[in-house]
Chain A
Amino acid sequence: MNDATGMPASAVVLGGDSELAAAVLAKLAKRRLERVVLAGRNEQGLARRCSELSALGVGQVNAVHFDATDHQRHDALASEIASELGDIDLVVMATGALERRGIDELTSAEVAQSIDTNFTGPAAALLGFARVLRSQGHGTLVVFSSLAAVRVRRANFVYGSAKAGLDGFCQGLQDELEHAKSGVRLMIVRPGFVHTKMTTGMRPQPLATEADVVADAVVRGLETGAGAVVVPAALGPLSVLMRLVPRPLWRRLPS
């Protein structure tokens, strides 16, 4: 049960090895979090995150296999995790992989794979969990979108368009959940450049931030009941501006 300050007692992370999600859970562990399922592909990574959470005092921590692109498994997985956790207060969707290669470096199969990892797979899984939460009558979905979703850029248009798809899917799902009196809320998180494993070796963008800052913003968003948060906050006005830049100028922006 999420409490009146928006804090969950149980959580499942899809993409359980994610640094951003781990930073969020570390903060929630100091509040009410006591039962966690981490779902992902990297067994060693999950095991490490599990022991980190146990060390933070989370009483019940388990890892399960989850592959965002294995669509057939999603619905069964959602109900399996629901029965394991009792009920699910919080779902964090943190799968995804950055793809910066362009037109000459990607095969068609790789494009499809990237879009599946960043959009189709997460969207399909989200809907499975949204149904479980709706039948519970309560719960929160937190979805990591990206600043890249606000407007697709030349430099990473495959990744950006997939995240834009996921972002749009979530906005529609938010409205549907509200309309259906589901008792379920969804929060979209749009981080800018974050120093993580995913961005190692890349040239940091302006206003680059840390996982810990993103986690603070997510926890704050849970408290305030925000529908979407942009991190760092200074990128909020920029994300509005990004939508307004004329195309001829937008396409000339340095990558």
Chain B
Amino acid sequence: MSLKPPPHRERVLASGFGRASASAATTAAVSSPDHLDELIALAATTSGRALARGLGRAYGDAAQCAGGLLLDCRPLDQILEMDPARGVVRVQAGCSLRALLREIVPAGWFLPVTPGTAEVTIGGAIAADVHGKNHHRDGTFSAFVDALVLHTPTGRRNLTATDSPEQFFATVAGMGLTGVISQATVRLAPITTSKMVVETRRGADLEATMEMLERADASHHYSVAWVDGVARGRSLGRSVITLGEHAGVEDLAPPQRTRPLVPARSRSLPVPPLLPRLITAPLISAFNEAYFRRAPRRAKREVLDYPPYFYPLDALSDWNRLYGRRGFLQYQYVVPDERADVVRLVFERLIAAGQHPSLVVLKRFGPAGAAPLSFPRPGWTVAIDLAAGTENLAETLDRLDELVAAANGRVYFAKDGRLRPELVAAMYPELGRWQTTRNELDPEGLFVSDLARRLKLVAWEP
């Protein structure tokens, strides 16, 4: 049997993880940093637009480049250098968090910040400046990036926060619009075991949930609440709160203590393609009821492997297919502490509009980072999954945007597929500063995404 080499370039229909909108582009697999430079030069002389794409985990259109060249960075997946003593790793941008964890966990290191899936690339994590359940303590991913290599039409640059702060922080959270990251140097966090000590408890309502999460700021490294988005009345905002710490050897059962850094193998079940929408209102209600009831009334402590704690949904690969061909949206916003009332209002308005949020996650953010387009700021963030194409959804989310913007909050570009462009400047007041740096790095405006065009993050001329 002979394997045909993959075509050099190929037309693809690219969509985000939510699969709610798609656009066609040419894609090319990036085989090396030099090849990346060649492809950037090629794009500049052909379609005039290009964009890096990793594992496609942005929910909306952030990794789409209609009519342009998508630079598939997944082949750039090497771990170039690992200092097991200092816990510093130099890694290519297409390497996934899952692949990196496989190497660093046995050596006693962990990701300093991780989002709710390990199926993202290092490049994507930096471009979206992702956060995790420890944001209140540790900030975003970029806080642990010592250096990165950025490829632009005018050449390669080594960027660090100290030597080139404007360019470094425009690239961090820059959604791929300043160029293509080919590698990064990341500081890791030490662990003594691959297990987590997890404390699970119920939050009876929104007030109780928020109170517990606020208290957990000081007491726990990781905290998050799963919220029943369809519960109403006195149960509105009822939740299951999980607070976590990396387990010490003493937390493990004696048989596990001899090899504390070997996680159990995590398996993932595939979801078949072409399913109709299976996540429907009755199913959501039934699941939420069961999930809430299953959680212990009183706090319960258990030791878990790190994958089921950090990445429960990775156990079902392609779970986005459960929403059928129309796909789904995730609405993630943040509001400052003094406008915590917005959290309740948003739930109430969604319920009043007849929406059925399928998955809702609430957590607290700590201090903001230095990147102009970084999403987190101190306060409350809520991520809400909603089936796309349902009645009233578009208008309801438009009203929520206004509410969030008026509260000095913002929505997250990595999740967005439908924000009204007029609100971007209010939500991201440093947009102008970012644009100036971006235009210096990419004067011809080669790097562009569907998100950037839709939200007018960059000037656009076809």
Interface, chain A (partner B; CB < 8 A) = 1-7, 9, 31-32, 82-83, 86-87, 134-138, 181-184, 220, 223-225
Contacts and interface: CB of A to CB of B under 8 A. Distances in A.
Contacts, number: 81
Contact of B454 (A1, A6, A31, A225): A1
Contacts of B13: 181, 183
B417 A138 contact: no
Nearest to A177: B24
Interface stretch (B15-23, B94-102, B105-113): B15-23
B60 A4 contact: yes
Contact of B388 (A2, A4, A87, A138): A4
A231 to B, nearest CB: 16
Contact of A86 (B61, B67, B462): B462
Given A4-B20, A83-B462, A86-B461, A138 B389 contact: no
By size class, the interface of chain B is: 35 or more
Contacts of A184: 24
B23 A4 contact: no
Contact of A1 (B66, B393, B420): B66
A138 B67 contact: yes
B450 interface: yes
Contact of A134 (B12, B24, B325, B397): B24
Given A137-B66, A224-B326, A225-B389, A7 B394 contact: yes
Contacts of A138: 22-24, 66-67, 450
A138 B451 CA distance: 13
Contacts of A31: 394, 398
Interface string B254-275: 0000000000000000000000
Nearest to B455: A1
A181 B12 contact: yes
B453 A224 contact: no
Given A4-B60, A4-B388, A7-B394, A183 B22 contact: yes
Interface in B287-339: 325-327, 329
B11 interface: yes
Residue among B23, B25, B61, B327 facing the most chain A CB atoms (10 A cut-off): B23
B393 A5 contact: yes
B450 A4 contact: no
Contact of A223 (B394, B450, B460, B462): B394
B418 interface: yes
Contacts of A223: 389, 393-394
B23 A3 contact: no
Interface in B168-221: none
A182 B11 CA distance: 9
Given A135-B67, A183-B23, A223-B394, 4 more contacts: A1-B450, A5-B388, A5-B397, A183-B22
Nearest to B26: A137
Given A4-B18, A137-B67, A182 B24 contact: yes
Given A83-B462, A138-B67, A6 B24 contact: no
Residue among A31, A183, A220 facing the most chain B CB atoms (10 A cut-off): A183
Contacts of B325: 225
16 contacts: A4-B20, A4-B21, A4-B327, A5-B394, A5-B417, A31-B398, A83-B462, A86-B460, A136-B66, A136-B67, A136-B462, A138-B24, A181-B24, A183-B13, A183-B23, A224-B389
Interface in B400-447: 417-418, 420-421
Contacts of B329: 4-5
Contacts of B393: 5, 223
A2 B23 CA distance: 10
B446 to A, nearest CB: 16
A178 to B, nearest CB: 9
A158 B291 CA distance: 61
A225 B24 contact: no
Contacts of B25: 137
Contacts of B61: 1, 4
Nearest to B18: A4
Nearest to B388: A4
A7 to B, nearest CB: 6
Contacts of B462: 82-83, 86-87, 136
Contacts of A136: 66-67, 462
A7 B23 contact: no
Nearest to B450: A1
Nearest to B59: A4
A53 to B, nearest CB: 18
B22 to A, nearest CB: 6
Contacts of B18: 4
A184 B309 CA distance: 40
Contact of A4 (B417, B421, B461): B417
A4 B418 contact: yes
A6 B11 contact: no
Residue among A3, A31, A183 facing the most chain B CB atoms (10 A cut-off): A3
A138 B394 CA distance: 20
A66 to B, nearest CB: 21
Nearest to A31: B394
Contacts of A1: 61, 66, 450, 453-454
Nearest to A225: B326
B66 A183 contact: yes
Contacts of B453: 1
A1 B67 CA distance: 12
Contacts of A182: 24
A2 B329 CA distance: 14
A134 to B, nearest CB: 7
A184 to B, nearest CB: 8
Nearest to A224: B389
Contacts of A137: 23-25, 66-68
Contacts of A5: 20, 329, 388-389, 393-394, 397, 417-418
A32 B420 contact: yes
